[in-house]
Structure 1
Amino acid sequence: MADRREPRGATYPGNTGRALLWTIGSAVVPGIAHLRMRRWAAGGVILGAFVLLLAAGVAGAVVLGSDMLRSAFYMVQGRWLLTAAAVAFALTVLWMAVVVHSWTITRPPGAGRLARFSAGTVVLVMCLAMAVPAAAVIRTSYTAYDTLSSVFDSALGGEPHDAANPWAGRDRVNVLLLGGDSGSNRYGMRTDSMMVASIDVEHGDVVLIGLPRNLENAPFPEDTALAEQYPAPTGFTDLLNEVYQTVADDPDRLAVDPEATDPAADTLKAVIGGITDIELDYYALVDMEGFEGLIDAIGGIDVHIEDPIPYGQEGGVLEAGDQHLNGNEALWYGRSRVNSDDYARMGRQGCLIKYVAEQADPAAVLTGFEDLAGATKRTLRTDIPQTKLPAFIELADLVSDEGEMRTLQLSPPQVDTAYPDWEEIKALIAEAVQEQEDGQETAPKDGLAVEPSPSPGEEPLPGLAAGDDVADSTEWQEYTGLTDPSPTTPGRQVGSDATSLDALCP
């Protein structure tokens, strides 16, 4: 056929089947069909581009595959996600164009109608199969982009951001972690889990400050609508876990910033910041009803349980010992109060944070990415801006690899939840953070932390026996009248020293 303008000396494959084989071969090694037909320039360019792209792809896979942190770094940036989707689409279109053109130039003239139809069907199916991986890349990229856009603030709201100095020279970044306990059988949401995570951005050390849900008479920041509505000294007569819903019921009148994404969470951040005397940078609120989806998406977690924990409506029990918990079991591990109390639950929630931080395997996260993204959209609210996510990814890696996690549970006897001494609470928190920073200064060069020697009288004494002098008892024995020298659950704490989560959560 003269109109096809084949190069001089080019010969067609002997039949339609051979032409189809050359076309299939061009899908594996683009350009070989063009070289077969003596289209040297086009074949050389296509083959050369393919080799370069293949080399770049292999290098990228090796680099990103061996550095999951870098992979996560790119996956939390919208521009890279959109770029990946666009590149996948463009390359797939070019790939299919090469295959179709390979068939066009190799098909022999004079082939029967049935042969042409059958071969054309094979080429079409082949092109559709080539589109599958690109569709997967585009879908994953869009899912990640949509999740980021839905959960995280897309604008800084005037906050300066420097990628080279994301924390603006600050030593610590402070995040309020909230667990909202909502459900179809109750009105609104109560923040039954409230923790402040104070993170050292240089060493990765963390102090988790657990606030009891039943703290009463919470003071509100001055010159706010809440302070005017609930003036001291009577103030707010509900528990601290009711502040969120109180604001959510009337955000236009009571919220610190009614225009915030979640005015109630934003206001609670200001309230707890005042209570703790810590400048809280961000909050993250997880609806505990959807928490199990997050745990399932990362493959569950391994925990150590000291005593059996009843859970669920069916009379189930989380047995003592080392256990692997799915999402539903982890939810009950963190929220159950059967045969325990609020403070034991606070301790288990601190352990959950430690376990997730240690066990969130990046490979498992990527494998269950779509489930994780869906669960995140349903359950997580935060005011962390998208631009800060790469810095938080790096900080999380530092915490996991090098940081020490300590917890200060504000529980009786050092804190009277009915009549809190707010100045004493602030002093306890400041002492716990300062103690961690002092430990960093005295740590040896190999990075191993040095535990301070206990002061005289700080060592717990054995249980009281008949005739023992009460003056020799521990603070816990004096408070409870029990023979145990110290509390046996991770949520109870006596004294101002923040306790290592490694000791509380083996």
Structure 2
Amino acid sequence: MLRIAVFTAIGLLLVGAGAAGYAYWKLNGNIRSVDIDTQLGPGRPPASVGGAFNILLLGSDSRAGANHSLAGGAVGDTARSDTAMVVHVNREHTTASVISIPRDTLVARPACTAPDGTSTPALRSAMFNSAYEVGGPACAVKTTEQLTGMRMDHFVEVDFAGFAGLIDAIGGVDVTTTVDISDQDSGLHLAAGNHHLSGTQALAFVRTRHGVGNGSDLGRIELQQQMVKSIMKQIGALGLTSNPAHLWSIADKLTKSMTTDSELASVSALVGLANTLKGIGPDQMTMVTLPVVSAPSDPNRVVPRTPQAGQLWAALQADGAVPQSVVSIQPSNPADSTPSPSTGTATRTPGGATRSPVGAAGRE
């Protein structure tokens, strides 16, 4: 999972790591990139203007390389974007709105061409996370732009191994859970209370789904949003600018785990982004989940809730704040309840969506 570590860590790490010489060359060589603009062509929402911009943060469940045995769940040859966050940074670069999109949201998926040239026809209704599976990052971006009506100016992805390695490099993170968590799939077992997690444990924490709430993706998103703030606090407390060796180690691990759009695929570009984001901390971030309701066709899927989902995207398109109509219907804490037994009986989440205990089928 998260992949979200990129947004929280870039501003604190790479400003101090953008040195010339070997360090610059080495970190540049670590970063993988995708030419989203060339793959998608001109048929996209207009580029952001006035200083505001949008970043699509994705976490695929690819099991390639070092990711093979991490975080439980099924191990296969394909990958899906099981974590997706749209980050809107306002024109003054003083606040950010972070919108989590549940992976099993049914959306209209556009026609896409995969990196290997394989074409996939458009579908009127497909799980959001399937776009990455059939067409890679470019298809995920295209699907997100169609859903939101906004240009994704940048794309960032971090893999399983990179996330776990980053957490270990910063000395672990502190989290709090108000209920016991026991998830055989992710391998996470925590008693209610405060915990300091290693990289492997933190990965399980943001991956766990069956061990919290009603077993749907909404509880997992709550854990992921808590992890974002925990990472920011931990990095902020390290004093990395006075410890170049430690800074180098973390920047090396972070850049090795990253795939970005081609415009961001250099240390200098990331340093520029870091400087842009440096005034945004946990208190300047609004984190919400896309309002959803149970899909009429399948209780294991959700669809955007009207009119609130449309109000949310319209507000961000206008560089506004997350509307109160969206904030007021956010689940108070979908992870803060005892998991339902896997009996097949649907339960109602605090956000209003009726979900089965195991949520969406397929991978964790």
Structure 2 gap ranges (5+): 1-10, 39-46, 69-74, 337-348, 353-364
Matches within 5 A, 1:43-62: none
Q: Distance in 2 between matches of 1:413 and 1:435?
A: 28
Change (3 A) 1:414 1:230: closer
Q: Deviations for 1:373-394, whole angstroms, at most 9, x for unmatched residues?
A: 4433442111124343233212
CA contact (8 A) 2:53 2:90 kept: yes
Change (3 A) 1:74 1:333: closer
Which aligned runs of 4 or more in structure 1 are off by greater than 6 angstroms? 154-158, 312-315, 414-417
Counterpart residue identity of residue 173, structure 1: F
Counterpart residue identity of residue 318, structure 1: L
Residue in structure 1 matched with residue 334 of structure 2 by the alignment: 489
Residue 244 (structure 1) aligned with residue 132 (structure 2): yes
CA contact (8 A) 1:155 1:385 kept: no
Residue 437 (structure 1) aligned with residue 287 (structure 2): no
Change (3 A) 1:328 1:356: same
Among candidates 1, 10, 17, match of residue 75 of structure 1: 17
Residue in structure 2 matched with residue 177 of structure 1 by the alignment: 57
Q: Distance in 2 between matches of 1:328 and 1:81?
A: 33
Q: Distance in 2 between matches of 1:154 and 1:268?
A: 12
Structure 1 gap ranges (5+): 1-68, 83-141, 159-166, 248-263, 440-450, 460-474, 477-485, 496-506
Counterpart residue identity of residue 15, structure 2: F
Q: Distance in 2 between matches of 1:172 and 1:334?
A: 29
Normalized per residue, the structure richer in strand is 2
Describe the SS at the equivalent of 1:355: helix
Please state how far the C-alpha of 1:291 moved relative to its aligned partner: 1.5
Which structure would you say has the larger Rg?
A: 1
Among candidates 275, 287, 293, match of residue 406 of structure 1: 287
Task: State percent identity of aligned pairs.
Answer: 20
Please state how far the C-alpha of 1:412 moved relative to its aligned partner: 2.8
Change (3 A) 1:419 1:225: same
Matches within 5 A, 1:190-229: 190-220=80-110, 225=113, 229=120
Change (3 A) 1:189 1:232: closer
Give TM-score scaled by structure 1 length: 0.50
Q: Distance in 1 between matches of 2:257 and 2:12?
A: 26
Residue in structure 2 matched with residue 325 of structure 1 by the alignment: 197
CA contact (8 A) 1:408 1:432 kept: no
Q: Distance in 2 between matches of 1:414 and 1:435?
A: 28
Residue in structure 2 matched with residue 273 of structure 1 by the alignment: 145
Work out the number of aligned pairs and report it. Answer: 297
Residue 363 (structure 1) aligned with residue 239 (structure 2): yes
Counterpart residue identity of residue 30, structure 2: S
Residue 150 (structure 1) aligned with residue 30 (structure 2): yes
Describe the SS at the equivalent of 2:284: coil
Please state how far the C-alpha of 1:398 moved relative to its aligned partner: 0.7
Describe the SS at the equivalent of 2:92: coil
Q: Deviations for 1:266-325, whole angstroms, at most 9, x for unmatched residues?
A: 231122111111210111111124311011111111222121222567965222222221
* Higher RCO (CA-CA < 8 Å; seq separation 6+): 2
Counterpart residue identity of residue 349, structure 1: Q
Counterpart residue identity of residue 75, structure 1: A
Please state how far the C-alpha of 1:149 moved relative to its aligned partner: 3.2
Among candidates 340, 346, 351, match of residue 221 of structure 2: 346
Counterpart residue identity of residue 334, structure 2: T
Matches within 5 A, 1:24-43: none
Alpha-carbon RMSD across the aligned residues, in angstroms, is 4.1
Give TM-score scaled by structure 2 length: 0.66
Please state how far the C-alpha of 1:357 moved relative to its aligned partner: 2.6
